[in-house]
Amino acid sequence: MISSQTMAPQELLLPAKPGFILLTLFIALTLNLMPWPNWINWLLPDFVALLVLYWSIEAPRKMSFILAWCLGLMMDIANGSLFGQHALAYVILVYAGITVHRRIQNFQIPAQLLHIAPLLLLTNCVVLLVRALADASYPGYSYFLSTLVGVALWPVIGFILKIPQRPRSDPSRA
């Protein structure tokens, strides 16, 4: 049973424009490639992963697998990581997002985070497994820490990305 308190009040939003989705993903990719100071680097979440998950929950029809896959390949080229490593992670995220999107939209933010965190950590584990099979490298616990920082950023990202979708106050009703 879900108590009425955890259910989010349904907010009526305009549909997200495909151009806006592309723009935000582009900005996320740029943020990922930016040179950050060393101390912040290991705390910084993967912005593209966060946004791919966000859009596959908010606009499952518009977030395509092939887009996520291409973004992953671009990350792999820019980072010199194993070719297909990020691509695999993002494709799994899209699938997870599309699968749970109806359920997740009904929850308020704290309950949403409990859905998001396992999905992102699961994706981390998949990548970890791939790297363990490929060259047996293990990055340490900080690898999961950056994901948790990403989870903490989720409400902020949601707030910012919903701004253009909120309907303008209708002057005729005022």
Which C-beta is closer to other proteins: that of 102 or that of 166? Answer: 102
Tell which residue, 53, 67, 60, 170, has the closest CA to residue 118.
Answer: 53
Q: Which residues 6-35 are close enough to bind other proteins by CB under 8 A?
A: 29-35
Which C-beta is closer to other proteins: that of 28 or that of 116? Answer: 28
Which C-beta is closer to other proteins: that of 15 or that of 155? Answer: 15
Q: Which of 3, 4, 38, 172 binds other proteins (CB under 8 A)?
A: 38
Q: Does 61 bind other proteins (CB under 8 A)?
A: yes
Q: Does 83 bind other proteins (CB under 8 A)?
A: yes
Q: Does 148 bind other proteins (CB under 8 A)?
A: no
Size of residue set near other proteins by CB under 8 A: 47
Q: Which of 1, 19, 135, 163 binds other proteins (CB under 8 A)?
A: 135
Token pair belonging to 107:
């929850």
Quick check: 120 and 112 in contact, CB under 8 A?
A: no
Quick check: 107 and 6 in contact, CB under 8 A?
A: yes
CB of 47 to other proteins, least distance (A): 10
Q: Which of 6, 41, 105, 106 binds other proteins (CB under 8 A)?
A: 41
User: Which residues here bind other proteins, judged by CB under 8 A?
Assistant: 29-35, 38, 41-42, 44, 46, 61, 65-66, 69, 72-74, 77-85, 87-88, 91-92, 94-95, 98-99, 130-131, 134-135, 137-140, 142-143, 146
